[in-house]
Structure 1
């Protein structure tokens, strides 16, 4: 049976008629559907019940049969996740009435013969990836076709004139494609048409005359095209029209008077065109209107009083026009009105009281010239109001306490007015309020403590007022707060620690106030901060260490003379001594520092600044002497045969930890710090392993014969303090992972810091890829294991909230068993003075690995920077090419090269030529695609490293038996 069927399928493709004549007993529907199935992919196994050995398909999923003829009448495979092309097999279904393949991933074009199925009534191919033009004669023989939908595909070209041949069509939906050109004039001859949707295309020109011929038309949607000209007068002849959407085109002129005949129309949208003139009074005759949107046009004059006749109206949008005068009181007749938008006009007068008496949920009157007070209008406010925007007007007076009765309010914007007085305490009664904007007014007094009652607040904007007093600690109750903008006021007192509890905060601006005190250290724990501006206050002390504050912009902390820290380029002193008062005439040994009462005017007072200057001079002198002594010791130490651990002339050590005022502190996290080499290990070029942005790395050996690597930091001036340095190093020393280089210990003096790490013998990934270390090259399996191991190490770091910042092939080392070990992680935590620009030049010194957000101060540096660097590393490992390569007359960026090759279906050519075809394409290509996803320009589009590990393990599983390809 199977062999016979294969032969029949081959004949079927060539000639369906021949197959039927060859064996009339075979069911044409089964054959046609099996051929259709052969052309598509079914990843979800939805069509598993389609068995080629069945005599009838009527029990197959997605099918319905006519009970009399037992032939397929409906094929409905909506949302089956199918891909592939729509083949000729469907032409066998001669009794098919409904064909629906929507919401799949089908590609290719459509057959010009489909409409020749004489019984076909409905075609729905919407929401796929079908493309190309519709064949010119597609509609030439459309039989009894009643409805066709090709919406949300990629069809292009003109809408064929043959469409006018389908006299039986009642519904046409060609929306969300790329159709161009003008409308076929014959479309108005389809007098059976009830629904026409051509929205979101590239159609242009004027609407051809004759629209009145569509006397059965209920809905027309031509929005989001390039149509121009006027609305044809004949539109008034379509008396059954209920929905008209001509928005986002280039229509112009005035509204034709014939439209007043459309008494059944309940939806009229003319948004974003160039209509002009006054809105005619006859608009009130369209009494079925529920939505009327004339926004973003050039309408002028006053709002017609007849609007009040539209008792069914629910949504009214006249925004972004040139309306003048006041809103008519007749509008209180719009008893069902829910949303009202007159923003961006030139309306004058007071806010009508009827606005707060209707059951409105959304009101926007922003950017007008309204005046008066809000007090009287809100007196009888309804409790359904959710959005109230009165911003950018000329409102005055105080904000009435009656605002508290708007219990459903979610958005309140009264900014850019002339409101005065205090913020009413009743604001705290608005439990649903998410956004409160009272900025750019003349509000005074303090921020009410009751504001903490607005527990749903996400954005609080009070900038550019005259607010005084302290920042209320009750804000800690607003746990959803993401934006806190209180700048340019007269606020005093400290920044409350309570703000550190608002873990969702992203933007904070407290600049240009009179805030004092130090910043709470807990602020460093805020995980989502993108901006924290405290400039131009009177804050003092040390900036918080860690988190966002390690990369805070100097601009955000400027204008605070007593602040210290890396961002303000001002070191933080220890506990300063009190001023010393010396008596030059006294021989007493008293240490009280006081003067005899009878000394009179003879006294010398040394201020703190003078002492600091003297101290600085002394330090310089001592430093010169120390350097001389150290150099002498370095020279002498190289001649010692069994010197104990001596680094750059430091005294000998034999126990751990060791601290000496004259030498420094050495700490090993496990075991005794006995070393077999001395200072020459750091100074002798023969022991140097490499150099990076932060210093050189050397190899030395412990007394037990175990080698270690020592990084000698050359950025001592950027290290904040011994306490902070040691705290961070100890955290890093606790991190253990098979694919991370273990930190063994550290050495500290104020002028020298060393990091002692596990020594990895196999060299760096960079040398293996680009310098052919050892004369060998990495096999595919070795490369894949390096990629996977590196991904696991980064995922582990990110779980510990540690960003590597410095991922590149020279920082991935290969041990003796071929496993990758990532080093140099967490350096940014040791150097809190680094901002992202120093990081760019120091840590991210390897060109090509740096994520694009390093160049933008407003974008937060997150773990997604590591994901970007990892993506570049993946492409480097697979292709064997450097991230950026300089040719004779060109610069080749690896990401761009691979992405271009992928678009041209030649991505296999990018795999390292050293592999000579010995790699599984079903692993290499998905890995490269993963690398490209990781290097997305938008951080949120990059996967997490945990997801990357899962994806890599899924890629590897199907080919575990292909080791021989390595």
Structure 2
């Protein structure tokens, strides 16, 4: 062949290649431009580089990779803020596509079956989005190696069988989706190349199959938050490459299998919240562990001493087991140890001294054991320490001086030990200290003035010690203090007037001291004071009239030296004034009668006697009339003939007969799925709400306009009684008061304080709706948040409401909010056919957090989500579910879709909110969006929510609201 012929052939071949390259590029370009066009409206600017006018074609597009032939092989648009529906239909026209990554966006809608045509796909990541519907089968994707679908809202049955051909699969991540419950899929154990399995929180049931041992390449196995049963299979010891094993929050039983210690590559092991038993001997050789979480099981025996020699272990959680013996003394000394929680065991011996040796320790939690010895001096230098909790042990000695003033400490809890010595002035350096609990020890000397410099304090419990001297007046500087318990000490002198400046104070107890002087009138200015106990002191003088303005659930001034007349408005606290010979009253029988100087006391008594006798005659006539009327009604006869038992939780001015006699039709104010609610007016004019729970009732299914409704078994179960006792112990201005329970074999009566303005739902959405101004709405939001904060943070363990909604926020005559119906959903589930309460969804549609609906698991963050919905109701005036939102949409979706601009945000604010308040409403909307973040970890705590709402307070100056310009771009 001549040179010219060869040149012509080469030129022809080159032209053919260029032509084919152009055809491929043109085809791929059109597909990419179609994708951009579909996403353009909701994501302006994100894909600006995707342009037909670009010099290099699609291969120069951001996030696009091509092969040497110019064909698109990879599209990576993860974390680009994309939203809307992705155009999957044309995607498989990219004939060479091997990788599609769309993770961490806000894409929605279904994924079509067309995805099965992308036969060359090796990498598919749709994780962390908002897709809907089932995921299509993948039987044609035989080359697939990486599949990430986690946390993307897919539902229905997952197509496990379609994975049979995916023999090349290396990573399978499907967790955090509401798939239909299924036993551990057999298809998984045949994929022998798998290195990573993430199936947590996607409804896997049954036992872990023995064939799991065939996956010898496995590095990470995560099947937590599921319904696994049975034991950890012995075959798991074959997985000698495993470095992460997480199976927490299941129903696993048995022991760690023999040979488990051979898994020496394990660095993360979490089997917490199961029912595992036996000792920890199999774990002594896991020397590469970084994190070990075994809490909430039934483990016994000692902590292996080898744990003290682990060089990489940084956190250890063993709480709520049955472990005995000492804590290894070398624990934490060789690594950047930062956390230990071994509470609620039976551990003995001293606290290990070197857990903060590397200066990283954040929390020492060793509550409720049998530890002895003193606090090692080394912890006084632990500048990173945030929580130091060793209460309920047998520890002794003095507290290292500098421990009081650690700069980052938030909780110091030393209660129920045998500590002695003083609290020193070093405490002024503890600028973040929120809780100081020293109760039931032998601490002594005066309380230092410097305690007033710890402005973050919210709870101080120093009761049952040997403190003496005067109460420092600097305590009035603690503006956030909510609980001050100082009873059973040796404090003397007067109660400082400055305590009236502690505007957040809810509980104040100074009983059993040697306090003298008068009761400060400034106590009457504490707006949130709920309980006041000054009994067993040497207080003198008159009871300040200012106390009459308080709304107290507990008042005890007994056994002092008080004198003068008891204010009439306090006369309902009958037993609160005993042991004060100088006090008198015209209404309290146990006190001396007050006689005025004109000698008209006798006439007054005669007049009062006549009134009382007349009232008794009238009351007797009324009782007879009511009895005759009730005899005509079968239900009323039943109530009267039942044998009732009453349990009171607060001071009561009524009897069980007063309540039972009022359960009649004319007092009915609401009906629920399992009982009726009645308004009861007592003889003294006091109003109560009584819930009658009948045995034939069923679970509540609709909004209640007044009080919570319970299931039929609650009135008789021990669990019901225990839960009601818990509710009765709660004392907070923003939590509804439960006065008593009255029970029989077949039904129960719960007696609450009456809320004349019904519920927030009534005020916003029903025929009772009131034109609530923004200041009132703000006050409701703040009060309700404080009530929830108290439930979440006011106890050793959080009280989780489970059904936060606007109909469970009740309003008094001044529109002050009360949280109602808390804790009861837990019982309702626990009695539902014997199901584990953690696996049954309770709550109300529109308020339920996404993860709760998917997995039926519940924690405080579920309450935070529901409260965020309530805040959206307050700002928008709309219900959680409205037809205008669209099918299967709620207020959270609706608000999210209207955050495109400041104008669109302003449009969703309730038109009843005045123009001057709209910026303030947006601030609360911003809090609501944070509360309703899809991922629980991104939601704030209720304590943070309270602070954010307080920061959003509208300025109230002569009716003029002053607010700063707000940025409406909100990150969730």
**TM-score tier (shorter):** 0.5 to 0.7
Query: How many Å apart are 1:927 and its aligned residue?
Result: 5.4
Please name the residue that 1:162 is paired with.
162
CA positional deviation for 1:509: 4.2
Give the C-alpha shift of residue 402 in structure 1. Answer: 6.5
Q: CA deviation at 1:319?
A: 1.8
Is 1:226 equivalent to 2:227 in the alignment?
yes
Aligned partner of 2:554 in structure 1 is 555
Partner of 1:568: 570
TM-score by length of 1: 0.56
**Residue 271 (structure 1) shift:** 1.0
2:188 paired residue number: 187
Per-residue deviation at 1:146?
A: 2.7
Cα drift, residue 345 of structure 1: 0.8
**Alpha-carbon distance between aligned partners in 2 of 1:569 and 1:346, rounded to the nearest angstrom:** 48
* Counterpart Cα distance in 1 of 2:206 and 2:72: 46
> Are the counterparts in 2 of residues 263 and 288 from structure 1 also a CA contact under 8 Å?
yes
Contact 2:124 2:148 in 1 (8 A): yes
Cα 1:188/1:853, change in 2 over 3 Å: closer
Q: CA offsets, 1:816-857, max 9 Å, x none?
A: xxxxxxxxxxxxxxxxxxxxxxx999947xxxx99554999x
Pair 515,309 (structure 1): closer, same or farther in 2 beyond 3 Å = same
2:128 is aligned to 127
Matches within 5 A, 1:596-611: 609-611=594-596
CA distance in 1, matches of 2:208, 2:782: 59
The separation in 1 between residues aligned to 2:812 and 2:165, in whole angstroms, is: 70
Supply the distance in 2 between the matched residues of 1:98 and 1:615 (Cα, whole angstroms).
98
Alignment correspondent of 2:678: none
**Correspondence for 1:416:** 416
Structure-2 residue corresponding to 1:692:
none
| Post-superposition offset of 1:263 | 2.1
- 1:774-823 per-residue CA deviation (whole Å, 9 max, x = no partner) reads xxxxxxxxx9xxx99x67xx347889999999xxxxxxxxxxxxxxxxxx
Structure 2 partner of 1:694: none
Distance in 1 (CA, whole Å) between partners of 2:779 and 2:213 is 69
Q: Is the 8 A contact 2:160 2:187 kept in 1?
A: no
What do residues 696-744 of structure 1 show as CA deviations (whole Å, max 9, x unaligned)?
xxxxxxxxxxxxxxxxxxxxx99xxxxxxxxxxxxxxxxxxxxxxxxxx
Cα deviation for residue 346 of structure 1 reads 1.0
Question: Partners of 1:217 and 1:250 in 2: how far apart?
Answer: 23
- Aligned 8 A contact 2:780 2:817 in 1: no
2:81 corresponds in structure 1 to 80
Question: 2:420, 2:442 within 8 Å by CA — same for their partners in 1?
Answer: yes
CA shift in 2, pair 1:277/1:53, >3 Å: closer
Q: Residue 153 of structure 1: CA displacement? A: 2.2
Cα distance in 1, alignment partners of residues 483 and 362 from structure 2: 25
Per the TM alignment, residue 169 of structure 1 is displaced from its structure 2 partner at its CA by 2.1
Is 1:294 aligned to 2:298, yes or no? no
CA contact (8 A) 2:36 2:47 kept: no
Q: How does 1:755-774 map to 2 (within 5 A)?
A: none
What is the alpha-carbon distance in structure 2 between the residues aligned to residue 400 and residue 418 of structure 1?
A: 15
Matches of 2:278 and 2:876, distance apart in 1: 61
Change in 2 beyond 3 A, CA 1:86/1:539: farther
- For residues 290-329 of structure 1, the aligned pairs below 5 Å read 290-329=290-329
Q: Deviations over 1:225-281 (max 9, x none)?
A: 11122222232222222111111111221112333222222111111112211111x
Structure 2 residue aligned with 1:98 = 99
**Structure 1 equivalent of residue 31 of structure 2:** 32
Return the alpha-carbon distance in structure 2 between the equivalents of residues 443 and 131 of structure 1: 60
Superposition deviation, residue 555 in structure 1: 2.2
Output the CA distance in 2 between the equivalents of 1:224 and 1:247. 6
Whether the 8 Å contact between 1:511 and 1:533 is mirrored in structure 2 is no
Change (3 A) 1:800 1:228: closer
In 2, the alpha carbon distance for the partners of 1:108 and 1:504 equals 47
2-side partners of 1:116 and 1:929: how far apart?
Answer: 53
Partners of 1:872 and 1:612 lie apart in 2 by 56
Contact 1:492 1:513 in 2 (8 A): yes
Partner of 1:271: 272
Can you list the C-alpha shifts for 1:122-177, whole angstroms capped at 9, x where unaligned? 22222222233333x32442434434233342434246133242222222211111
Work out whether residues 88 and 115 of structure 2, in 8 Å CA contact, stay in contact via their aligned partners in 1. Answer: no
Q: Report the alpha carbon displacement of residue 343 of structure 1 after superposing the two structures with TM.
A: 1.2
1:470 to 1:283, Cα distance in 2 relative to 1, 3 A: same
Give yes or no for contact 1:284–1:308 (8 Å, CA) kept in 2: no
Give 1:108's aligned residue. Answer: 109
TM superposition shift of 1:213: 2.7
Contact 2:519/2:540 (<8 A) preserved: yes
What are the superposed Cα offsets for residues 871-909 of structure 1, whole Å, 9 maximum, x if unpaired?
79997xx9xxxxxxxxxxxxxxxx79x76997878999x
Using a 3 Å threshold, how does the CA distance of structure 1 residues 491 and 798 change in structure 2: closer, same or farther?
farther
| Distance in 2 between residues matched to 1:338 and 1:553, nearest whole Å | 43
2:74–2:98 CA contact under 8 A, matched in 1: yes
What's the CA shift string for 1:464-488, capped at 9, x where partnerless? 3343433212334556545433244
Residues in 1 aligned to 2:86 and 2:94: alpha-carbon distance in whole angstroms? 17
Judge conservation of contact 1:140–1:163 (CA < 8 Å) in 2: no
Gaps of 5+ in 2: 1-19, 574-581, 583-591, 607-684, 687-764, 785-808, 823-866, 892-903, 914-920, 932-941, 966-972
Report the equivalent of 2:216. 215
Q: Does structure 1 conserve the Cα–Cα contact (< 8 Å) formed by 2:530 and 2:554?
A: no
1:378 aligns with 2:377: yes
Query: For the residues of structure 1 that align with 2:483 and 2:477, how far apart are their CA atoms?
Result: 14
Residue of structure 2 in register with 1:202 after alignment: 203
| Kept in 2: contact 1:367–1:391 (CA 8 A) | yes
- Conserved? CA contact 2:380–2:401, under 8 Å: no
Q: CA RMSD in A?
A: 5.5
In structure 2, what is the equivalent of residue 118 of structure 1? 119
Q: Secondary structure of 1:340's match?
A: strand
Matches of 1:29 and 1:558 in 2, distance apart?
84
Q: Distance in 2 between matches of 1:462 and 1:165?
A: 67
SS for the counterpart of 2:90 is: helix
Say if 1:471 and 1:29 are closer, same or farther in 2 by CA, change over 3 A: farther
- Structure 1 residue 462, shift from structure 2 partner: 1.1
Secondary structure of 2:470's aligned partner: coil
Displacement of 1:206 after TM fit?
1.0
SS at match of 1:253: coil
Asked if residue 337 in structure 1 is aligned to residue 322 in structure 2, the reply is no
Counterparts in 2 of 1:257 and 1:503: CA distance versus 1, 3 Å: same
Contact 1:463–1:488 (8 Å) recurs in 2: yes
User: Taking structure 1 as reference, are residues 361 and 872 closer, same or farther at Cα in structure 2, changes over 3 Å only?
Assistant: closer
Question: Do residues 349 (structure 1) and 334 (structure 2) align?
Answer: no
Provide the rounded CA distance (Å) in 1 between the counterparts of 2:774 and 2:106: 33
Q: Compute the displacement of 1:868 (Å).
A: 9.2
Q: Which residue of 1 aligns with 2:363?
A: 362
Are residues 77 and 279 of structure 1, via their aligned partners in 2, closer, same or farther at CA, if it must alter by over 3 Å? closer
8 Å CA contact retained: 1:65, 1:74? no
The 8 Å contact of residues 76 and 98 in structure 1, kept in 2 or not, is answered as no
Which structure 2 residues correspond to residues 598-747 of structure 1 after superposition, within 5 A? 609-611=594-596, 614=599
Q: Give yes or no for the alignment of 1:239 onto 2:240.
A: yes
How much has 1:367 moved relative to structure 2?
A: 0.7
The reply on whether 1:495 has 2:480 as its aligned counterpart is no
When Rg is computed on C-alpha atoms for both structures, the one with the higher figure is 1
Contact 2:487/2:511 (<8 A) preserved: yes
- Give the distance between the partners of 2:63 and 2:391, measured in 1 at CA: 55
Secondary structure of the 2:349 match is coil
Q: Using the alignment, how far apart are the partners of 1:114 and 1:802 within structure 2?
A: 46
1:41 and 1:34 mapped to 2: Cα distance? 10
